Structure 1
């Protein structure tokens, strides 16, 4: 990390949100600092509420013709929180790669590598993101797959048992007009493309040990932009529970991969 700098305005672009500010470096310690993660906590909470409302809606629809109307509101709130969190994460990603602050939110030791500020470091940071995301997304997809199977199974049972046509129509609308199954499809799409981008960077840093030349830098930039576009399109919120559960395991595996195959010796 570079030495602390004065809190001065370095450059102002036309968009105030992209003001580049040199902020003092956080005090060096062994503890990881990640203020951006607080934004993802809001995303996780709002998504849990939205999912809870969906299941309440499903249960209520099964026993009455009353329909709960607030689920879409929570999905909209979740999207807003998700966009805010991803914007801050992208800015911290750039800051950690090039040591230039685009945000006042502090991050320190978010990435576990010893690269110097450069496009290569940006690539390694992105590779580390994908290493964690690929594993967590796989767990998320499996979890949602089981939930979706249970919902479809219950729906089939209701189709067989319920004779009230009006109630059947309401239940059908509740199950298939919701975003729940659409989100499962998005998770599948996200997982497939995360694996694809991960393989791009794996080939660069592990398989071929590509030289730091123009072609390699372009490939790194392409992969990083590909991943950022994918996140923006899918607006996927990965499970914080799964992340916390497997964080130590993934950190250890990443350290082994980085020091054995990626770092220059």
Structure 2
């Protein structure tokens, strides 16, 4: 049976596009802010005014983009994924969206199925973020080294250093790295919690187990929402066969 995931198509697709637009806007604004520093206002007043106008328009667009992505598109996609996860776990229809083959476990008890679905999601998130972090760490370190070198060079204009610092320490570079590292650490911790839960041998009828499953599910959802990191579709598609095979081995080992 072919896999179906309308949540990714209808909700994460627009979010991915918006995220890419935001990345381009960020760099356009950053470059413009540096270019304006080198324009002689007295010699080229019209060019300076034009650049300032373009910069202000870009900054406004970047602000609007951020609000749309962070307040509307990202929560909307996460809500849709959460509704579908609960629908799949409890065999109900909280949403008209459909997934086939998205979750892979044999649990019939609703809470145990919710735990298995959440553990699978945590596993994939953890692995994909690890792959994403390799490039993010390298690029962030490169930017920081270049910035420190510019500061150490006596003739570097302080205004240029200030603008570069504003770009580097924004949410798109250092801030993004910190959120990704935090997401990785939380997912690693949560994956171990789920592993202990299933290996503990307690049935889902016990109150403590039911409470832990709900706690872990909420922990994962709040972690994703707080980090606000969109996972790489490219890495997911490349790693999906390998990760799926590894997940099959894990769930066979713990009996889910």
TM range (shorter): 0.7 to 0.9
Q: Does the C-alpha gap of structure 1 residues 177 and 216 become closer, same or farther in structure 2, counting only changes over 3 Å? A: closer
Q: Aligned pair 1:97/2:68, yes or no?
A: no
Runs of 4+ in 1 over 4 A off after TM superposition: none
Q: 1:171 aligns with which of 164, 168, 180?
A: 164
Give the match for residue 12 of structure 2.
40
Q: Give the Cα separation in 2 of the matches to 1:84 and 1:249.
A: 29
Q: Give the Cα separation in 2 of the matches to 1:58 and 1:198.
A: 38
Q: Give the Cα separation in 2 of the matches to 1:141 and 1:114.
A: 32
Q: Aligned pair 1:74/2:65, yes or no?
A: yes
Higher relative contact order (CA 8 A, sep 6+): 2
Q: Aligned pair 1:88/2:80, yes or no?
A: yes
Q: 1:189 aligns with which of 176, 182, 186?
A: 182
Q: Does the C-alpha gap of structure 1 residues 75 and 151 become closer, same or farther in structure 2, counting only changes over 3 Å? A: farther
Q: Does the C-alpha gap of structure 1 residues 148 and 212 become closer, same or farther in structure 2, counting only changes over 3 Å? A: same
Q: Aligned pair 1:229/2:200, yes or no?
A: no
Q: Does the C-alpha gap of structure 1 residues 261 and 179 become closer, same or farther in structure 2, counting only changes over 3 Å? A: same
Query: How many residues are matched?
Result: 233
Q: 1:60 aligns with which of 32, 56, 69?
A: 32
More helix as a share of residues:
2
Q: Give the Cα separation in 1 of the matches to 2:28 and 2:105.
A: 45
Residues 47, 75 of structure 1: 8 Å contact kept: no
Residues 162, 168 of structure 1: 8 Å contact kept: no
Secondary structure of the residue aligned to 1:192 is: helix
Q: Aligned pair 1:258/2:251, yes or no?
A: yes
Give the match for residue 16 of structure 1.
none
Q: Give the Cα separation in 2 of the matches to 1:78 and 1:161.
A: 40
Give the match for residue 43 of structure 2.
none
Q: Aligned pair 1:151/2:143, yes or no?
A: yes
Give the CA RMSD over aligned residues: 2.0
Structure 1 portions without partners, runs of 5+: 1-29
Q: Give the Cα separation in 2 of the matches to 1:117 and 1:99.
A: 10
For normalisation by structure 1, the TM-score amounts to 0.80
Q: Does the C-alpha gap of structure 1 residues 37 and 117 become closer, same or farther in structure 2, counting only changes over 3 Å? A: farther
For normalisation by structure 2, the TM-score amounts to 0.82
Q: Give the Cα separation in 2 of the matches to 1:233 and 1:62.
A: 31
Greater mean alpha carbon deviation, residues 46-55 or residues 32-41: 46-55
